[in-house]
Amino acid sequence: MFPEVGYNWSEIRSGIDRVMIAVMCALLFLGLASIYSAGRGVRSSTVIYVTRQSTYALVSAFVYVCVLRVGYRNLVRLSYWFYGVTLLILLALDAMGVVSKGAIRWFQIGGFSFQPAELAKVTLILFMARFCSRRPPENIKNLVSVLALTGACVLMVLFQPDLGSALVYVAIIFAVLVVAGTPGKYLGGIVVLGIVAMPFFWRTLRAYQKTRLIVFLDPYVDPQGAGYNVIQSRIAVGSGGLWGKGFLQGTQGRLHFLPEPHTDFIFSVFAEEFGFVGGVIVVALYACLFWRILRGAFRTKDLRAKLLCIGIVAWLWFQVMESIAMSMGLAPITGLPLPLFSYGGSSLLMVTVALALAQSVTISHVRDKFARI
């Protein structure tokens, strides 16, 4: 039977982090504005993407409230089940998923698609929070166990292939292991093994993935092909200057020079129109969001909550860093969405669930604090 509801409305109102809510809304609003601008260059209708993203946002808001009501403790308690179901879904994706650009990453549901790799980011964090709090990776047996169980998820997504999401999982796993108390010699061993495995890893990559890494080093190797995206994105970001060209005045996306402007290169659209100052504001908003999540991790005494928050920050930090750096040609193209900013229902929904879990940690701390008085 499902666990009892975690928090009542009074506890939620008194413990909720309003700064986090404000930052989330600001990023979502700026993302919607950029999606609207990008949509002008993709389709004749300028509102189709904004309408869909707004619908996703409303659904995500409802789910956000539900997660707050249930509480992170109840969801962590069910994390083994969640993670097991996620692995089964990833297995089913090979037989039932939709193939796009050579990858099987989506389930098609009516007119909408769902990406299980996004769901796995949440369930992986929940699973590690429970597993590593009950069986700390302080000895080789526990460490091998957690690496084997989480590595299954990494490999399944890697062979879809979805290199970007697999790298996010690696960032999550490593961050949680560090905070869970894994000895330095074991962490160093993992890093060394990763470096040694790189030649084998290179051979497993698809041709287009190898090309992306090559054009990252020099996009002019293939300026009309694989390097085109990087070159046009750099032009968009650079042409924004200090203050930008102004809202709806960007040309790279509107004139179809910038590929996938509403998803992969949404930051390029924003930077062209709002310039360096706008980009700094967006980065500052993300930094504030990370700090509010870490603040909850520092304050709580529940190890599960600490690991949960660290996993969420590692996930979001990696995607923000990669997405922005990719737009400026400072990182290889992976197709990772910019959280709360890029168009996409699966990403927005799962990021919202993760932020609700982090918010739940803060609410729990406030409730427990008053309970002790």
**Better pLDDT: 332 or 315:** 315
Structure tokens at 103: 């990858």
Q: Which residues contact 280 (CB under 8 A, 6 or more apart)?
A: none
pLDDT at 288: 97
pTM over 0.85: yes
The pLDDT > 90 percentage for the chain reads 53
Q: Does residue 47 or residue 326 have the better pLDDT?
A: 326
Yes or no: say if 186 and 180 are a contact pair by the CB < 8 Å rule: no
pLDDT band at 328 (very low <50, low <70, confident <90, very high): confident
Per domain, the residue ranges of the chain are 9-372
CA pseudo-torsion sign 159, 161, 167, 168:
negative
> How sure is the predictor about 254, in pLDDT bands with cuts at 50, 70 and 90?
low
pLDDT of residue 136: 93
Residue 30 has pLDDT above 60, yes or no: yes
Query: Contact, 318 vs 168, CB < 8 A?
Result: yes
For the chain, the average pLDDT equals: 86
Continuous segment of H or E residues that includes residue 209: helix 207-217
Whether the predicted pLDDT of 209 surpasses 80: no
Backbone angles phi, psi at 103, to 5 degrees: -120, 150
Q: Is 107 helix (H, G, I), strand (E, B) or coil?
A: strand
Judged by DSSP in three states, 100 sits in: strand
Q: Could you tell me the pLDDT band of residue 3, with boundaries at 50, 70 and 90?
A: very low
Distance CA 117, CA 64 (A): 19
Closest residue by Cα to residue 295 from 12, 8, 18: 18
What crossing angle do the helices spanning 266-299 and 303-327 adopt, rounded to 10°? 160
Q: pLDDT tens digits, residue range 212-247?
A: 777 777 777 767 666 777 888 888 888 888 988 888
Length of the chain: 373
Average pLDDT value for residue range 295-314: 94
If one compares 268 and 97, the residue with the highest pLDDT of the two is 268
